[in-house]
C-alpha cells in the first residue's frame, strides 16, 4: 500500500510534472528517508518502464550514494526479455539510438530520449521536422554548442547523418525538468531562484565571451537536473558577433525579448540583451508572473519597449530588496543602464543571497547568579511555547520524531525532558540574556508595590 507521499509523487508524475525524488525526500525526517526512498524508487521505476524507459541496475545507487547498499535489495530491476521496438512504441527508427519517448518538440525538430545501444547510455536525439530541408541551417545550433564547453551548457556528443534518414543531433540527456515546470509548481524559494539565475548568467557570460548571444533565454530553455543544477539549452536562435546586421530583425520569444529585440534593432544586440531576458525570467520566478503581458503581440512589444516593469515587491513584499534591485537593473530599458556583463549580474545574485552570521559578541559576558532562576523560567516558557504550537498543528507525543505522522518525543512537560534537551533550551535563553547585557541593558526583577 502506497503512503500519502507516494500517492502524491505518482499523481505528480501522471500529471506530467516530472517530480524529483530528491524534492520529496526533503519532506520527511532523515531517519525515515531510506524507507521512503525505496518506495519512491519502486514507483518511479514502474512508471518509467511503462513509458518504455530502461532502468539500469546501479542507476539509483549512483544517484543516492549516501544510502546503504541494502536499499537496492528492495527494488526490482527486472527488464523485459526483449525491450519494445521503436515501431511498437510508435517512434521512428533512429539506428543505434533506440528511442524511448518524446522529450519535446520545437520549431526545428523533435527531441527523443534514446538509448545509445553501443555505449549503453541514455542520450537526447534531435531529429528535424520533415519540412526542414536546409541541413546546414539545421546544423547551426549543434555547431554553436560544439564550440562551447561549460558545466551549465549541454554538450553535443555527435551528429549522425544516416544514408536514408534525417540528420540526427545527439546530446547529453538531462534527467530533471524545465524551469518552466518548476515555476508552475511554485516550489522555488528566493534563494534558490537567485542561485539558478546566477548559474545561468555565468553560462551566458561564457557564451558571450565566445561572441555568441543566445537571444531566446526563457524558462522552457533552462533545464534543472536531479541535483538542482541548471543548464541553458536551445541555442537555435543564437547569433554570432560576426552575424550582426544593420537591418531590422525580430527573433526570440516575445514575452522574454529585450526592448532592442522587440524593435528589431539588431545593431544593439549583445550580451546585455540576454541580461534583460534573464531579468524577465528572474522576475517570473520571484512573482509567478511576467513583467510584460498582453494577448496582442503588437501591444506586448509596445509594453516591452516603453513600459516600466512593476516593482516585484509591490506584488510580494517578502522579496528581498536587494534581489528586487538586481532584477530591475537587468530590466532597464536603456541597454547602458543594465549590467555590463552577465557575470556582474551573477556576482550580485551570489552576494545578495550569501548569509554571513554576525552575532553579538558575548564572549566577555558572564551571567550573574541572580539570573539563574530567570534562565530556568524562560527555558521552561520557551519549551511550552514550542509545544503549544506543535499541539495546535495536530502533533502528538511519540517515541521518535516523525514529520509524516506528526509525532515527537519532546511533547511532554518541561520537567519530563531529558537533561540534554533542557540544556538546549537553557543555552538558547542564556545567549539571549548575555546579548542583552552586552548591549547595555540591565536585567532585574521589579520591586513589589
Q: Annotated catalytic sites, by residue? A: 216
User: For residue 421, what are the contacts with CB-CB under 8 A and spacing of at least 6?
Assistant: 410
Is 182 in contact with 197 (CB distance < 8 Å)? no
SS3 of residue 428 by DSSP:
helix
Burial of 447 (0-12, 13-18, 19+ CB in 10 A): exposed
User: For residue 205, what are the contacts with CB-CB under 8 A and spacing of at least 6?
Assistant: 271, 341, 342, 343, 346
- Give Cα separations from 75 to 22, 43, 46, 184, 270 (angstroms): 17, 10, 10, 31, 51
- The label of the residue with cell 520537567 reads 415
SS3 of residue 18 by DSSP:
coil
Cα-Cα-Cα-Cα dihedral of 184, 186, 191, 193, to 10°? 10
Is 212 in contact with 239 (CB distance < 8 Å)? yes
Determine how β-strand 212-213 pairs with β-strand 239-240.
Answer: antiparallel
Cα-Cα-Cα-Cα dihedral of 415, 420, 421, 423, to 10°? 80
- The label of the residue with cell 520549431 reads 107
Amino acid at each position: 500500500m502506497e503512503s500519502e507521499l507516494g500517492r502524491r509523487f505518482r499523481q505528480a508524475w501522471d500529471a506530467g510534472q516530472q517530480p524529483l525524488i530528491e524534492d520529496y525526500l526533503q519532506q520527511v525526517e532523515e531517519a525515515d528517508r531510506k524507507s521512503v526512498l525505496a518506495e519512491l524508487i519502486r514507483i518511479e521505476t514502474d512508471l518509467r518502464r511503462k513509458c518504455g524507459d530502461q532502468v539500469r541496475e546501479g542507476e539509483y545507487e549512483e544517484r543516492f550514494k549516501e544510502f546503504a547498499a541494502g536499499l537496492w535489495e528492495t527494488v526490482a530491476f527486472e527488464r523485459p526479455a526483449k525491450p519494445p521496438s521503436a515501431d511498437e512504441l510508435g517512434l521512428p527508427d533512429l539506428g543505434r539510438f533506440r528511442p524511448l519517448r518524446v522529450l519535446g518538440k520545437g520549431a526545428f525538430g523533435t527531441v527523443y530520449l534514446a538509448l545509445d545501444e553501443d555505449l549503453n547510455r541514455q542520450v537526447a536525439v534531435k531529429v528535424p521536422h520533415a519540412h526542414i530541408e536546409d541541413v546546414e541551417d539545421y546544423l547551426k545550433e549543434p555547431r554553436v554548442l560544439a564550440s562551447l564547453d561549460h558545466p551549465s551548457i549541454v554538450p553535443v556528443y555527435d551528429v549522425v547523418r544516416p544514408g536514408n534518414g534525417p540528420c540526427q543531433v545527439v546530446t547529453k540527456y538531462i534527467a530533471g525538468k524545465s524551469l518552466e515546470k518548476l515555476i508552475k509548481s511554485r516550489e522555488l524559494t528566493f534563494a534558490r531562484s537567485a542561485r539558478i539565475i546566477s548559474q545561468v548568467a555565468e553560462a551566458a557570460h561564457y557564451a558571450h565571451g565566445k561572441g555568441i548571444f543566445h537571444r531566446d533565454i526563457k524558462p522552457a530553455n533552462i533545464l534543472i537536473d536531479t541535483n538542482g543544477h541548471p543548464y541553458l539549452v536551445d541555442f537555435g536562435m543564437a547569433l554570432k558577433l560576426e552575424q550582426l546586421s544593420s537591418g531590422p530583425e525580430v527573433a526570440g520569444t516575445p514575452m522574454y525579448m529585450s526592448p532592442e529585440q522587440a524593435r528589431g534593432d539588431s545593431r544593439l544586440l549583445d550580451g546585455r540583451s540576454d541580461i534583460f531576458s534573464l531579468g524577465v525570467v528572474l522576475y517570473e520566478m520571484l512573482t509567478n508572473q511576467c513583467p510584460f503581458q498582453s494577448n496582442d503581440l503588437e501591444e506586448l512589444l509596445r509594453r516591452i519597449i516603453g513600459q516600466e516593469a512593476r516593482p516585484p515587491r509591490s506584488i510580494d513584499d517578502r522579496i528581498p530588496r536587494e534581489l528586487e534591485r538586481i532584477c530591475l537593473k537587468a530590466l532597464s530599458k536603456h541597454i547602458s543602464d543594465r549590467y555590463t556583463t552577465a557575470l556582474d549580474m551573477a556576482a550580485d545574485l551570489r552576494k545578495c543571497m550569501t548569509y554571513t552570521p554576525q552575532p553579538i559578541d558575548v564572549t566577555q559576558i558572564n551571567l550573574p547568579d541572580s539570573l539563574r532562576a530567570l534562565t530556568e523560567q524562560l527555558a521552561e516558557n520557551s519549551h511550552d511555547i514550542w509545544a503549544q504550537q506543535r499541539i495546535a498543528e495536530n502533533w502528538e507525543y511519540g517515541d521518535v520524531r516523525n514529520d509524516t505522522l506528526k509525532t515527537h518525543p519532546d511533547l511532554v512537560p518541561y520537567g519530563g525532558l531529558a537533561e540534554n534537551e533542557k540544556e538546549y533550551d537553557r543555552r538558547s535563553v542564556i545567549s539571549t540574556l548575555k546579548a542583552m547585557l552586552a548591549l547595555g541593558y540591565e536585567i532585574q526583577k521589579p520591586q513589589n508595590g
